[in-house]
A and B are shown apart, each in its own frame.
Chain A
Amino acid sequence: MSWEWDVIIEHFPRLLQGAWLTLELVLLSGFAGLMLAIPLALMRVSHRPWLKAIPFGYIFFFRGTPLLIQIFLVYYGASQFEIIKNSALWPILREPYWCAIITFAMHTAAYIAEILRGAIQSIPKGEIEAARALGMSYPLMLRRIILPRAFGIMMPAYGNEVILMLKGSALASTITLLDLTGMARTIIARTYTPLEVFLAAGVIYLIISALIIFLFRYLEKRFNRHQHWPNEKPKDLDPQH
């Protein structure tokens, strides 16, 4: 079989266009998902059973069903109801772009909430007790101790989840979006060179993954910087100054 490099070169700008949309989908839904996950996780670690039940049901549903089915239900399912079509939500729900972001955010929020819950529960007890002993109120403790510590602990697992979402975002192509996968499939529909085009798309996915990995290495270092100080030069402690 013949290998056509020209196809890759000729269509590379369009693949990059698709990659841009993929990035947008992952970053926006990743951010929205995190915002949604914080209250879910906090409810999940609560001691009140009824408060725990809400995130439990949510997480059970979104973790237990395939992303493909969720995106179909939101995009094709919601549009079957006249009530939704006549509501104020329709201008948003009629756009595949927003349907994808909403579905991805809700899906990833379920996973992030579980990761965050684990992180909160693994904060050393002494640190929480110390905060309490200082008389911190719950919101202050949350802002200064619990969440910053939990973010530091969860970063590696969270980075993993973002990469899973990057790959999951390929499903956006099933609802007419021209993300990296959608663009690749549209190009292949004309050129019949699936190997070449998918190889190029795969390489772009790899590069995006690499960027995400580096970003999370940096974030991990930043959130856990208090643990690294013994390895740095203690210049601030230098008595000469």
Chain B
Amino acid sequence: MSFKKILTTAALLAATITTPAMAGDSIRIATEGAYAPFNMVTAEGELAGFDVDIAKALCAEMKVECKIVAQDWDGIIPGLKARKYDAIIASLSVTEERSRVVAFTDHYYSNSLGLVSAKAGDFDPKALEGKTIGAQRATIAGQYLEDNLGDKVSVKLYDTQDNAYLDLSSGRLDAILSDKLPAYNWLESEEGQAFEFRGDKIDIDDKIAIAVRKKDSELKESFNAALKAILENGTYEKINAKYFPFSIY
């Protein structure tokens, strides 16, 4: 092998290594798969939901191939840092703490929190003292519960939202503090028939966005451009209508 050839190979190699996630090839996107209706696994074992539809629409707009993978919630940000994938579209809220470790695009929907309790019970959101309230660990709801109600109520944190619903049904919990939109979906389902929202929604200025690594600013910009495009051309509206009868942007 000539010296020149070695140099070109090395340069090519370096190019493949340093190229950010973009460059026309494929992007790996992580979602959780346990947060209906935003991301869930269908009976056929495929990822589906609002997040997944948005991800596909964005990829189509950006004209890149995307691979969507499922990743447990606890490890979803560490996995991004470890380059297991290039972006997270998993209903991830923008927070100060998260912004220190990842970069966020513009928001693609907004959320508020709500308390869910049994229709038959006498749970009063104005008298929370001594109640047992559950939430999913590592979520805004969980942190809100610990920070604002931690000294009043007994806080229980669950690995998945489903486990929290199970304990609400079993009567171990007086209420769940949850993101309002997925809870709306659960209340519509058969299991959720005996439960309802109690009290006012808690507005927490919760914007949901796509997370990428801090260095991948090019990827972030192309997501933003694609997001703007699907908001303008009606694609977003169509996906929204598929899941909620009201706009969630």
Contacts and interface: CB of A to CB of B under 8 A. Distances in A.
Interface of A: 1, 76, 79-80, 85, 94, 96, 174, 176, 185-186, 188-192, 194
A194 B97 CA distance: 14
Given A174-B159, A186-B137, A186-B157, A192 B78 contact: yes
B137 A79 contact: no
B157 A192 contact: no
Interface in B114-165: 134, 137-138, 142-143, 156-159, 163
Contacts of A1: 81
Given A176-B158, A189-B137, A190-B143, A76 B163 contact: yes
Interface of B: 74-75, 77-78, 81, 97-98, 100-101, 134, 137-138, 142-143, 156-159, 163, 166-167, 169-172
Given A186-B137, A190-B138, 12 more contacts: A76-B167, A76-B170, A79-B172, A80-B166, A80-B170, A94-B170, A94-B172, A176-B156, A189-B142, A192-B97, A192-B100, A192-B101
Nearest to B160: A174
The residue among B75, B78, B143 with the most chain A CB atoms within 10 A of its own CB is B78
Contacts of B100: 192
Q: Is chain B's binding surface mostly helix, strand, loop or mixed?
A: helix
A69 to B, nearest CB: 14
B174 to A, nearest CB: 12
B167 A192 contact: no
A202 B105 CA distance: 36
Contact of A76 (B98, B137, B166): B166
Contacts of A194: 75, 78
A94 B166 contact: no
Contacts of A186: 137, 157
6 tightest CB-CB pairs across the interface, nearest first? A79-B170, A189-B138, A176-B156, A76-B166, A192-B101, A94-B172
Contacts of A191: 97
7 contacts: A76-B167, A174-B159, A176-B134, A176-B157, A176-B158, A189-B143, A192-B97
A196 B77 CA distance: 15
Given A76-B163, A79-B166, A176-B156, A185 B172 contact: no
Contacts of B156: 96, 176
A188 B159 contact: no
A102 B84 CA distance: 39
A11 B200 CA distance: 34
A194 B134 CA distance: 23
A101 B16 CA distance: 53
A65 B169 CA distance: 26
A174 B164 CA distance: 11
A96 B173 CA distance: 12
B137 A85 contact: no
Contacts of B81: 1
A192 B137 CA distance: 13
A189 B167 contact: no
A79 B74 contact: no
B166 A192 contact: no
Contacts of A85: 170-171
A35 B198 CA distance: 47
A102 to B, nearest CB: 15
The residue among A76, A176, A192, A194 with the most chain B CB atoms within 10 A of its own CB is A176
A191 B74 CA distance: 12
The residue among A186, A191, A192, A194 with the most chain B CB atoms within 10 A of its own CB is A192
Nearest to B159: A174
A1 B80 CA distance: 13
A76 B168 CA distance: 11
Given A1-B81, A174-B159, A176-B157, A188 B74 contact: yes
